[in-house]
Chain A
Amino acid sequence: MTDATTPEILATVERLLIEVVGDELTLTGPITLATSFGGDLELESIEFVALAEQLHAHYGARVDFVQWISTKELDQIIALTVGDLVAFIAAAT
């Protein structure tokens, strides 16, 4: 289950996002490392929870998304990009 490279992690994150948000996500255009969860995808906070749960189910406890997020201020969380998340996962795995 190790996603060694950035493209692999990005593909996983995109798949998990589609599971959380549904096909609606594919209408907003391709997801890139620069896509932000707040500004671009406009995730609701409860969808962010669902994403955290999906990440936990996929990567297990070593990718502790919730603890990582808890160290950030709310404006930082809103500005978070897919690239930030991919880099965090790459460092944790």
Chain B
Amino acid sequence: MAFAHANQIRFHTAELGAGPTVVMAHGLLVGSLASWYFTAAPVLARTHRVRLYDLRGHGKSDRPTTGYDTATMVDDLAGLTADLTAPFDLVGHSYGALVALGFALRFPARVRRLVVVEAPLPPGQVAEGDAWFAAGPDHLVAALPAPLRDAVAGGRRQAARLLANLRALAEDTTLLADLRAEPDLADDALGQLAAPTLCAYGDRSSCLPAGRRLAAALPAARLVVLPGGHYLHLDAKDALAAAIAEHLGG
């Protein structure tokens, strides 16, 4: 396994394929670089070098107690892409999409094209919010994307490990407080973002209004609505991969 140090944290990273670089960021809590590794990343890897990483606190990256706000996570991403001299493509799901947007707003010259999948706005509306934790483990499992839920349903090891990870993030880190404190993006700032942007949302997702808002506020954005919910990389695996591949080009 590959690891990279950035922002005083050790991150688990992976790369697939060769070509122009695309960096992909996953969503919070149940997400990890596996979210993309087994869905859209192999499709993009046919034409691109795909760089994946586990967000802080997730997968096999370190789990620091603080720094789960998007500004700090943009710093993480900047560190993990410091070696890339040419502008690169950036893809994010959910909170990872907010990190990608934040990166593009702070470093506009570094981003070639952007893909925003199911970014929640305002950010505190993250579908994987604290209602989950308040409702207890059973509800928590019920809120998982269907394939994951089915795998966990009869399971012992997977369920135990998943819940342990979620509890550690909720109880030992500032993640939930950081989420609640995360400011909304300003539409006039979004209006300055020139990178061609694909906004991909699920027709059954509560985040869809955020997609409409982004597509209207960003000057070079296009909204594509695919059949599915918030976990669109699972619900519409092939369609989402194809839409991303088309947006990024060869």
Q: Contact residues of A with B, CB < 8 Å?
A: 38-39, 42-46, 48-50, 52-53, 66-67, 69-70, 73-75, 77-78
Contact B14 A44 (CB under 8 A): no
How many interface residues does chain B have, given as a range? 20 to 34
Contact B37 A52 (CB under 8 A): yes
CB neighbors of A among B177-227 (8 A)? none
State how many angstroms separate the Cβ of B68 from the closest Cβ of chain A: 18
Q: Bound state CA distance, A78 and B38, in angstroms?
A: 12
Most chain B beta-carbon contacts within 10 A, residue among A45, A75, A77: A45
Contact A74 B156 (CB under 8 A): no
Per-position 1/0 for B2-46, Cβ under 8 A of A? 100000000000101000000000000000111101110111010
Contact B151 A46 (CB under 8 A): no
Query: Which residues of chain A come closer than 8 Å to B45, judged between CB atoms?
Result: 66-67
Q: Bound state CA distance, A44 and B162, in angstroms?
A: 8
Q: Bound state CA distance, A49 and B50, in angstroms?
A: 14
Contact A38 B151 (CB under 8 A): yes
Contact B38 A69 (CB under 8 A): yes
Also in contact, A46 and B33, with CB within 8 A (given A66-B45, A69-B38, A70-B43) = yes
State how many angstroms separate the Cβ of B1 from the closest Cβ of chain A: 5
Contact of A42 among B16, B155, B234 (CB under 8 A): B155
Contact B59 A46 (CB under 8 A): yes
Most chain B beta-carbon contacts within 10 A, residue among A38, A42, A43, A48: A42
Query: Which residues of chain A come closer than 8 Å to B155, judged between CB atoms?
Result: 42
Contact A74 B60 (CB under 8 A): no
Most chain A beta-carbon contacts within 10 A, residue among B16, B33, B234: B16
Query: Which residues of chain B come closer than 8 Å to A39, judged between CB atoms?
Result: 154
Query: Which residues of chain A come closer than 8 Å to B39, judged between CB atoms?
Result: 70
